[in-house]
Amino acid sequence: MQINAIKTALASLLFVTVANFAYAGDVTVSAAVSLTNAFKEIAQNYQTQYPDAEVALNFGASGALLQQIAKGAPVDVFASADQETMDAAEKQGLIVNTDRRNFVRNSLVLIAPSYSKLSLKRLQDLSQLEVKRIAIGNPASVPVGRYTLHALEAAKLWPALESKAINTQNVRQSLDYVARGEVDAGFVYATDAAIMVDKVKVAFEVTLDVAITYPIAPIKESKNSEEAKRFISFLSSPQSQAILSKYGFQKP
């Protein structure tokens, strides 16, 4: 009986040890939805290079992701599409400030359905009567929406265009609305427009007085802090940079 008890105890200990090893390399990354395609490919490469690791990806509007983290979502790494959202995370004490870094840059563009006959060469052209609906990310939670609002206010066009705005939950929803022809135009990142070249066309790049840089940082309450740092470092590797470049992202 005593021998059986010892065997049972050893078996239980072995199970716990194996279980802990299996989860030791897990890392959960909450990232801006515009990073979806690039991060999926990078995560696959990461898991190939580190077989002991498993990457769980969670995509959404940066503001919505921040709210999830603030409410205690089990996240290890946060990648935002703007500095404002990451600044908010820093002020709330949610990230490891010393490990925060900018890792890519993007640009804002106006797109229209590929079949559109509208002449859109500058922001003022959106005032045309033929332009009735414009997809714009909700400025309250979507970085691309804040960049858009900033550009339209700087051009003194927002009062005239506000009634045409169709607020979206994230940049990919704006892209989908344009691709399906549900709106006449929409504001997205250049990297998003590039993944649907058969359904949308870029009318022009929007000039901004601020760079669209993406910051990334490990979460302070992460249960896998070392894995989080390793994933962030992996983004700087030549193969990760090549993937980001392939999807149109630029170096910060």
Q: DSSP letter string over 163-190? A: GGEEEESSHHHHHHHHHTTSSSEEEEEH
90: CB partners within 8 A, 6+ apart: 97, 100, 217
Domains and CATH numbers, the chain: 2-105+213-246 (3.40.190.10), 108-205 (3.40.190.10)
DSSP per-residue codes, 76-101: SEEE-SSHHHHHHHHHTT-B-GGG-E
Element (H, E) at 19: helix 2-24
Burial zone of 231 (CB within 10 Å; 0-12 exposed, 13-18 middle, 19+ buried) = buried
CA dist 77 and 191 (Å) reads 22
- For 15, other C-beta atoms within 10 Å of its C-beta total 10
- For 121, other C-beta atoms within 10 Å of its C-beta total 9
Angle formed by the axes of helices 143-154 and 83-91, nearest 10°:
120
User: Is the distance from CB of 42 to CB of 235 less than 8 angstroms?
Assistant: yes
Q: Where are the beta strands (DSSP E) in 108-241?
A: 108-113, 134-137, 165-168, 185-189, 200-205, 212-218
In this predicted structure, what is the pLDDT of residue 252? 86
CA dist 183 and 192 (Å) reads 16
**pLDDT per residue over 138-173, tens digit each?**
999 999 999 999 999 999 999 999 999 999 999 999
**pLDDT per residue over 93-141, tens digit each?**
999 999 999 999 999 999 999 999 999 999 999 999 999 999 999 999 9
Token reading at 43: 């995560």
Give the confidence band of 214 by pLDDT, cuts at 50, 70, 90: very high
- DSSP secondary structure letter of residue 219: B
Q: How many CA atoms lie within 13 A of 209 on its CB side?
A: 7
Q: What's the mean pLDDT in 73-101?
A: 97
Q: Model's pTM, two decimal places?
A: 0.86
Give the confidence band of 21 by pLDDT, cuts at 50, 70, 90: very low
Produce one character per residue of 79-98: b if its CB has 16 or more CB atoms within 10 Å, e if not.
bbbbbebbebbbeeebbbee
Give percent of the chain above pLDDT 90: 90
**pLDDT per residue over 1-15, tens digit each?**
444 444 444 444 433
